[in-house]
Structure 1
Amino acid sequence: MRKIQIDLPGSGLVLEAFLDLPAVPGPFPGVVLCHPHPLYGGNMNNNIILAVSRALTSNGIASLRFNFRGVGRSQGCFANGIGEQEDAQAALLLLVNQEEIDPSRIGIMGYSFGGMVALAVGNTNDVVRAIAAVSPVIPANVLKECTKPKLIVTGAEDNIIPPSSVLKETAGMAEPKIVELIPGADHFWWGYEAKVGDMVADFFARVLAFR
């Protein structure tokens, strides 16, 4: 694990981040991880973000987890999802320029609010080859024409983002896509962290690990 900082172009803001690397020689595929809502306690040490990071490194994939603006030691303040998309774009730019990272094998993942950010940014950023979102807020018609591999994971007992709404929105997403509904899990995934981490890591291992 290496602590690094993300400089946001044009704003002067600096975000705190950690680059988590496998314990074998690189270069590695890499995935940017986007945490839950900044105004409701979300940060880069969230249970799902850490579980995914651990599972990725166990599968030979690096991860860059960071705090959105205004969270922890990251500068700035909450920017209604728009600024947070800029944060994720900057995180991707930083990741592809790390010497241990193969810039041709890049993904993005997010949880809850971070899932919305990951879907939006992954749709438009050309360096992103694959997208994963856990319990995401899904804007209408997002990724309708995006042909990048996509993984959407939601809990059957989620009472914050109803699984019915997730299934409705994912139905309109272009292929290839994998949609997983996990029985017994709610929005916070307590007790299911390892399962979610393994699902996300297995997905990225398939789509990023080989050229």
Structure 2
Amino acid sequence: MPEVIFNGPAGRIEGRFQPAKGRNAPIAMILHPHPQFGGTMNNQVIYRLFYMFKERGFAVLRFNFRGVGRSQGQFDHGAGELSDAASALDWVQTIHPDARSCWVAGFSFGAWIGMQLLMRRPEIEGFISIAPPANLHDFSFLAPCPSSGLIVHGDVDKVVPTKDVQALVDKLKTQKGIVIDQKVIEGANHFFDQKVDELIDTCGGYLDRRLAMADAE
């Protein structure tokens, strides 16, 4: 798992990149939780998601947003972090130009950034949003949401109440042409303490179904 440094809008960005063996293998980008509350690319959920995609043959990148770890710059309340994510995707695409598709997975703040990236990048064909902070950030930009995906949250999340995530899911489910899957993990808090295995199993099962559907087309 090579350490990588690439240029972003606010200076150098630090990441970990796993190349794919196949030339046209898909790309996955993994986006970490809130930088001001201890979120980094080494968060346990982010680390496990990274390997989940790697095991399925993806070229996978996780990276630190500006001001985190060895990434330069400072926290920018989402706007700069979205630019970081776009630059990171650009970088992976230069390394892996024949990728047949792209996925984005984000946790909490990273889920918010990832869903904004969806709106900008039509090549993203699938997403996994874990504990999207629907009560803290405006998700109305998803009009319409361009890709099908999975939204996972815990039923004892004290940071993002279930009703706020449910309202987001219900709104997205009214859109034609995409399918939003939802999984509520019983007993899981915002950080999925003691529930990470179940979370990763849920995400992996969803990804396997989507990949099988794509192969069947």
Is TM (by shorter chain) over 0.5? Answer: yes
Counterparts in 2 of 1:53-202, with a 5 A limit?
Answer: 53-99=50-96, 102-138=98-134, 139-173=138-172, 174=175, 175-202=178-205
Contact in 1 for aligned 2:112/2:139 (Cα 8 Å)? no
Partner-residue secondary structure (3-state), 1:33: strand
CA RMSD after TM alignment? 1.8
Deviates most, 43-52 or 200-209: 200-209
Letter in 1 for 2:186: P
Structure 1: distance between partners of 2:191 and 2:164: 17
Letter in 2 for 1:200: C
Deviations 1:117-145 (A, max 9, x none): 00111122122111111001132434231
Structure with the bigger RCO (C-alpha within 8 Å, sep 6+) is 1
Deviations 1:18-60 (A, max 9, x none): 11246xx323211111100001100000010011112122222
The aligned residue for residue 36 of structure 2 is 39
4+ residue segments displaced more than 6 Å:
none
Contact in 2 for aligned 1:32/1:108 (Cα 8 Å)? yes
Give unmatched runs, 5+ long, in structure 1: none
Structure 2: distance between partners of 1:43 and 1:117: 14
Contact in 2 for aligned 1:54/1:197 (Cα 8 Å)? no
Partner-residue secondary structure (3-state), 1:103: coil
Deviation at 1:199, TM superposition (A): 2.4
Structure 1: distance between partners of 2:108 and 2:184: 15
Count of matched residue positions in the alignment of Structure 1 and Structure 2 = 206
1:141/1:195 CA distance change after superposition, 3 Å: same
Partner-residue secondary structure (3-state), 2:28: strand
Structure 1: distance between partners of 2:164 and 2:200: 23
Deviation at 1:89, TM superposition (A): 0.5
Deviation at 1:192, TM superposition (A): 1.7
Deviation at 1:208, TM superposition (A): 4.9
Deviation at 1:64, TM superposition (A): 0.4
Deviations 1:171-190 (A, max 9, x none): 11133111111111000112
Structure 1: distance between partners of 2:95 and 2:204: 20
Letter in 1 for 2:38: G
TM-score, normalising length from structure 2?
0.87
TM-score, normalising length from structure 1?
0.90
